Amino acid sequence: MKFHIMTLFPQIIEAYMSESIMKKAEEKGNIEYKTWNIRDYSESKHKKVDDYPYGGGAGMVMTPQPIVSCYNAVVDDLDESLKQDKKPKVIYLTPKGKVFNNDMAIALAKEESLILLCGHYEGVDQRVIDLIVDEEISIGDYVLTGGELPALILIDSISRHVKGVLGHEESLDEESFTNGLLEYPHYTRPEVFMEKEVPKVLLSGHHKNIESWRKLESIKLTMKLRPDLFDYEALSKEDKKLLKKHNVIDK
């Protein structure tokens, strides 16, 4: 998976990508990324990238020319095979977009490459969206000062679903949002901390009991913290039985 990030602040992207798991993923060759500084493509004398909005109003709008020229440079840089009929999707990060979730991360991880466009100020001229953008994505119902953090959130969550990035892919099956449930609680050493004990079942070595306990906790946690996610009918027969046995639900 290769990410192309079009931004006015490439260093924000570089800072995050050069640490921890993203750094390792790049070193191992599981992901690639390249930042493109939109300002470099401005044809104006002072490398201007924004202007006042037509019709008046607060704030500035990013002008179309530097962004579209930057996009053309990204496309020019693509492998021949991609340039022809597999042009990467262009995603514009905006609070107006579709709210991002785990299923979208999983779907986007199947793409060969993606182009992420980060806005600033009041956003980009609408004609940029009409001309080059395929999808508008928001990371939540709040407004940030720019699209760099949202782009990094997409890159991070998408990369986790790219083979080899985590190195323990099986843990993806159990984590939150897989099967519509939150993940069960985790414990590590010591067995007792500030008088609080690790649940006995986890020390028992009895795999079936541990599995049942984790499933039950996962379901209870989802019902309590994210009732909007919980779908009783989507549970398996065994899970429904488990709930009844532990008096979580009396259906």
176 burial type by CB count under 10 A (0-12 exposed, 13-18 middle, 19+ buried): middle
Nearer to ligand ADE, 100 or 230 (CB): 100
Alpha carbons 191 and 239: distance in angstroms, whole number: 28
Nearer to ligand ADE, 140 or 199 (CB): 140
The DSSP secondary-structure symbol of 86 reads -
**From 7, 35, 94, 113, residue interacting with ligand ADE (rule: CB under 6 A):** 94
Within residues 12-51, the interface with ligand ADE by CB under 6 A covers none
Question: Was 144 annotated as part of a binding site?
Answer: yes
**What pairing do the DSSP bridges indicate for beta strands 113-118 and 89-99?**
parallel
- b/e burial code for range 225-240 (CB count within 10 A of at least 16 → b): eeeeebeeeebeeebe
Count of residues that bind ligand ADE according to CB under 6 A: 11
Smallest separation (angstroms) from ligand ADE to the CB of 71: 18
- Region of 67-75, 89-97, 172-180, 233-241 interacting with ligand ADE (CB under 6 A): 89-97
- Region of 43-51, 107-115, 134-142, 174-182 interacting with ligand ADE (CB under 6 A): 134-142
User: Are the beta carbons of 150 and 138 closer than 8 angstroms?
Assistant: yes
User: Does 6 help bind ligand ADE (rule: CB under 6 A)?
Assistant: no
User: Are the beta carbons of 33 and 10 closer than 8 angstroms?
Assistant: no
Question: Was 119 annotated as part of a binding site?
Answer: yes
Question: Was 139 annotated as part of a binding site?
Answer: yes
**From 21, 104, 144, 202, residue interacting with ligand ADE (rule: CB under 6 A):** 144
Q: What are phi and psi of 61, to 5 degrees?
A: -120, 140
Alpha carbons 101 and 134: distance in angstroms, whole number: 18
Nearer to ligand ADE, 66 or 147 (CB): 147
User: Does 157 help bind ligand ADE (rule: CB under 6 A)?
Assistant: no
- Region of 79-87, 137-145, 173-181, 192-200 interacting with ligand ADE (CB under 6 A): 137-145
For residue 105, give the nearest of 8, 195, 1 by alpha carbon. Answer: 1
User: Does 7 help bind ligand ADE (rule: CB under 6 A)?
Assistant: no
**From 95, 161, 222, 235, residue interacting with ligand ADE (rule: CB under 6 A):** 95
- Structure-token pair, residue 1: 């998976």
Long-range contacts for 184-191 (Cβ within 8 Å, ≥24 apart)? 184/213, 184/214, 184/215, 184/217, 184/218, 184/221, 185/217, 185/221
What's the count of helices (H) and strands (E) in the chain, helices before strands?
9, 9
User: Does 10 help bind ligand ADE (rule: CB under 6 A)?
Assistant: no
Nearer to ligand ADE, 124 or 219 (CB): 124
**From 147, 159, 184, 215, residue interacting with ligand ADE (rule: CB under 6 A):** 147
Footprint of ligand ADE (CB under 6 A): 93-95, 138-140, 142-144, 147, 150
Q: Which residues are annotated as a binding site for S-adenosyl-L-methionine?
A: 119, 139-144
